[in-house]
Amino acid sequence: MEDTTRNEKLREYLRPEDSFEGLVLADVTPKMDTMWWNVPHIRKLNLLLSCAMLTQVTSGFDGSMLNGLQSLPTWRDFFGHPQGQRLGVMSNGITWGTLASMPFVAPACERYGRRKPIFVGTVLVVIGAALQGASQNYAMFVISRFVLGFGLATVQTTSPLLLAECAYPSQRGKVTSFIEPAWPVGSFFAAVIIYGTFKIPDTTWSWRIPSLLQAVIPTIQFVVAIWAPESPRWLISKDRHDEAFEFFVKYHGGGDRNSQLARFEMAEVSATLEAERTQKQSRWGQFLQTPGMRHRLFICVFVPVMMQISGNALLSYYLSIVLNNLGITNSNTQLIINMCSTIWSIITAYGFASQVDRIGRRAGFIFGLIGMLITYVIWTILSALNQQRNFKQTGLAGGTIAMMYLYSGFYHLTAPFAPTYTTEVVPFSLRSKAAMLYQLCGNLAGVFNNFVNPIAMKAITWKYYIVYCCVIAVEIVIVYFTFPETGGKGLEEIAEIFDGADAIAGATAIEHIGMHKIDSKPEVAHIDESKR
């Protein structure tokens, strides 16, 4: 009886002539004959979604800041020249906060939606930044980073969900992929700020100012999120169909209540979520029920681990140690290299993220990893030669730094696909749990990085790079054999790749609940700004 009521409710949003048999989302999505910023409703939507796209700015700021702080004499003196395990604990403070948040974030996303956790998370980040800037001792610094981690994890878990579930259909891949390129933006700001405060002599404000400025972006996110829309998929899951339909009409249909795109999305999403509800797919155990779900689970666990243990942490958090091993010990030189590295990362990250649909998810992972492996091997060889020759040949150090930059570029070919891929392969009912797994596994791998990397770098220097060469080689093989291409499909249509004939999602779900049928596809509409 309840299912019948829901189906009748869905039909209220459809016109008598609406028919969707044999259609996919791409068939009814208008083709844009102008740039997206010339289309008012898409421009407004993307600006409001910036509250989620800015998330990694804070994370990138934190990584670069901690790199820079290790080059500041005042920070080293204040905290007793931390290294090894002590430095690992300071770096891992943010990781412990992330892990502590895990039991709460997924349930919060499911119960309160996608926007409210962003509110809570950004407030916690602001509090953590304030505590960090006011730290009086080692313990207070570690506690502040715990609070930062708790807040950051809350926002990072929620943001990909909000983007994937709200973005305009033809822009979903790009919008979601823009999360990761924000990391080097934050990294750049931190590098510039710390380079500036490095000039402040003999005062703790050289590291307190960057710590306090870490609160700026979360504050902006909080303000923008006030006006941001809630996920229409979450609204439908809570039987708030009217609000969901208004979202599709306003932000995807440009205010046209007769928009075929808005009505198709309403039908497709509602039918798919109803099928998931019937199959009780919201339980954790569902991840193990079928080969398709186990495949998804593997991807959700493997991708974040891969993105953490591919050697990138050495550049993100321990660049100072890497440069010391090259014989580059001057603090001013290290800060300049860090700042230039972030500029290069911004260029490559946004360049590749803007092309995610052309490159393809699978190709992005494979070619990025191959490039990372080649540059890491050369990096390792040059580092070995540099040490054997007592750091007397500056050309070897320069060549090593060049390989680091090239490695970073290839890493940023791969990185934008990570949140996009893991978000879209999982059905709505398990998406928040998958996002939580992504953060959990990534941060557990981060614990390894933050404890093992500084110890190993100190003990065996360049020989440690060989480990990462082997790891990346294994990752290439795994990705090649287990990662299917998902580009070009609607969020509700990707289930067909993993579940095959058993998939009840997208157009199949519409048929399953007995929606209208037609024999031919409609003419494709166009958005032409000159006619608006």
- The candidate with the shortest Cα–Cα distance to 94, out of 150, 139, 133, is 150
Q: CATH: 3.90.79.10, 3.90.1150.10, 1.20.1250.20, 1.10.3720.10. Which one for 49-228+279-483?
A: 1.20.1250.20
What per-residue confidence (pLDDT) applies to 332?
Answer: 78
Q: What does the alpha-carbon distance between residue 250 and residue 265 come to, in Å, rounded to a whole number?
A: 13
* Cα→Cα distances 210→84, 140, 207, 510, Å: 23, 16, 6, 52
Confidence of residue 13 (pLDDT cuts 50, 70, 90): low
Residue whose tokens read 């037609």: 518
Q: What mean pLDDT comes out for the span 72-90? A: 81
What per-residue confidence (pLDDT) applies to 368?
Answer: 96
Report helix angle 138-166 to 216-225, nearest 10: 30
What per-residue confidence (pLDDT) applies to 300?
Answer: 94
Q: What mean pLDDT comes out for the span 68-97? A: 80
Average confidence score pLDDT of the chain: 85
pLDDT digits (tens, 9 = 90+) for 238-249: 999 999 999 999
Tell me: pLDDT of 519 over 60: no
Residue whose tokens read 């208008």: 30
| Percent of the chain whose pLDDT exceeds 90 | 43
Q: What does the alpha-carbon distance between residue 129 and residue 145 come to, in Å, rounded to a whole number?
A: 8
- The candidate with the shortest Cα–Cα distance to 498, out of 515, 482, 511, is 482
pLDDT digits (tens, 9 = 90+) for 330-377: 877 877 887 788 788 889 999 999 999 899 999 999 999 999 999 999
Q: What does the alpha-carbon distance between residue 243 and residue 237 come to, in Å, rounded to a whole number?
A: 12
